Amino acid sequence: MILAIALPTGAALAETKLESTLEGVKGQVENLVTAKDEKSVSELALRIETFKKIIEFSVSETKDLKIKLLGLEDLNEEESAWRKTMIEELNNALTYYESEKSTVEDAAEISLDEIKTLATDFKNWRDTTYLPVAEKVNELLLIRQEENAIEIAERRWQKIDEDIKKLEKAKIKGVGELRELLKNADGLIGEGRELNREAGNAFWKDYILVTATTTTSAPASTTITFLPERLNATTTTASSTESATSTDESASSTLSIQPPSIKGLVGDSLVRIKDAYQIFIEMSNLVRKLLN
Amino acid sequence: MITNEEIKKNLGELKTIEPDPGFKRTSRSLILSYKSEKKIFFGMPFLKVAGAFAVLMLVITAVAFEFSPTPVLSSSFNSGSLQKEFENLSINTGIEEAKYRESANQTIVSALNEIENTNVKHMNNSLLRDEADGINLDDSTNPEIDALLETVIF
């Protein structure tokens, strides 16, 4: 029987604080909707309370992201500079939240129009300032996590390879099929690595180089020299990769080929790793048959 | 018949007899050059047998291990462990968190809309979604993330 690989149901969403503050927002919204339905006099107060809960959640969310960003290891010089910029952005966000919190807490009275304006401004600020930063940080986290997954899969491949060598030495019948499956898994892991490298390349070009050029005011034509060797490899395989490589060439042309998103590339890479593990599982079942 | 006197005389003569000096030297050097072949342990017969048996067992074990039809394999061929290893990859948690963040963002947007809005009632996005979740509808908020998740679930 081939076991199906699925996501862990109890994924480690250990951000208890984050979850509880989000639940607080949901509860407050429910109260506000009910108050609106009932045309309650507390409607304004509930709008203000909902806004406070949103700020509370936003602070938790930002701190959580900051901790994750600070936890990243093995960053090179440019990546460290980029991280520093992102940390500054997140600190600015926290300052903004404090300011908004003071506005609603310190004011003697807030009118309906004022709280509505605060909400509108907050939404616009979140869309244009916070979310782009959060998106970048989260993309880097995904690339790093996928890199780690690939390394684990490669180590597993090596161990299986050693076992197959033992079986070959013992002249077990049917080992050839195992060797063939292992070769397929090797191909998939290789493709996964390549796709994640593409994601790393895209991240480097879209974010790190931009930060480097912004902070150093280097001319655009020289920025490519920042591209590290490990991210500058020639790409192969997967269909989504092909469109990614063509993007550079067609940047100045009129062709509008949509480049694969970083998340898409990481996702494609993960699919390859998942498929490799599926082959490993298939092999384990086959070994059991061969040895019985 | 030999008398006592004669015996005493003969013994007196024999008393002075000595070996040939050449024979004496050769014999002495031969005796001194002789080394004992006696061994501490394997000199004893039963230990010789035990030692031979041990060597034989060692050879048999080595041969059996080398040509065993079922070699000792690592735990890499345990399907349960392999499945767990994949599930424990941090990227899976990362994808879950990405989905959670998308959902949280929708909730925040919806809550801000509710604060801004004075006209629409019973149309709160977040509340409707929560109710939809309650009746097992798809809570899709971001097609890209959902597509990613679908790819890792068989």
pLDDT classification of B135: cutoffs 50, 70, 90: low
For residue A159, pLDDT beyond 90: yes
| Count of domains forming chain B | 2
For residue B140, pLDDT beyond 70: no
Pair (B98, B49) in one structural domain = no
Cα B149 from Cα B30, distance rounded (Å): 95
Q: What pLDDT score was predicted for residue A262?
A: 95
CB of A14 within 8 Å of any CB in chain B?
no
Contacting residues of B for A50, CB less than 8 Å apart: 111, 114-115
Long-range contacts at A267-270 (CB < 8 A, ≥ 24 apart): A267/B95, A267/B147, A267/B148, A267/B151, A268/A195, A268/A238, A268/A240, A268/B151, A269/A146, A269/A150, A269/A191, A269/A192, A269/A193, A269/A195, A269/A196, A269/A199, A270/A146, A270/A149, A270/A192, A270/B91, A270/B95, A270/B148, A270/B151, A270/B152
Instruction: For residue A247, give both structure tokens.
Output: 């993007």
Cα A223 from Cα A201, distance rounded (Å): 13
**pLDDT per residue as tens digits for the range A66-75:** 999 999 998 9
**pLDDT per residue as tens digits for the range A66-121:** 999 999 998 999 899 999 999 999 999 999 999 999 999 988 889 999 999 999 99
Within a domain: B145: yes
- Hey, which residues 53-92 in chain A have their CB within 8 Å of chain B? 53-54, 57-58, 61
Q: Which domain holds residue B138?
A: 89-151
Within a domain: B79: no
Give the mean model confidence (pLDDT) for residues B56-80.
76
Q: Where are the alpha helices (DSSP H) in B4-142?
A: 4-14, 21-33, 45-66, 79-87, 90-116, 125-134
Within a domain: B135: yes
ipTM, two decimals, is 0.75
Cα A258 from Cα A247, distance rounded (Å): 8
Within a domain: B76: no
pLDDT classification of A218: cutoffs 50, 70, 90: very low
Query: How much is the pTM?
Result: 0.67
Q: What pLDDT score was predicted for residue A209?
A: 80
Query: Across the interface, which of A11, A123, A288 has its CB nearest the CB of B92?
Result: A11
For residue B32, pLDDT beyond 90: no
- CA of A178: how far to CAs of A120, A269, B73, B85, in Å? 61, 23, 14, 20
Within a domain: B57: yes
Residue in B closest to A48 by C-alpha: B115
Note whether A201 and A245 are within 8 A (CB): no
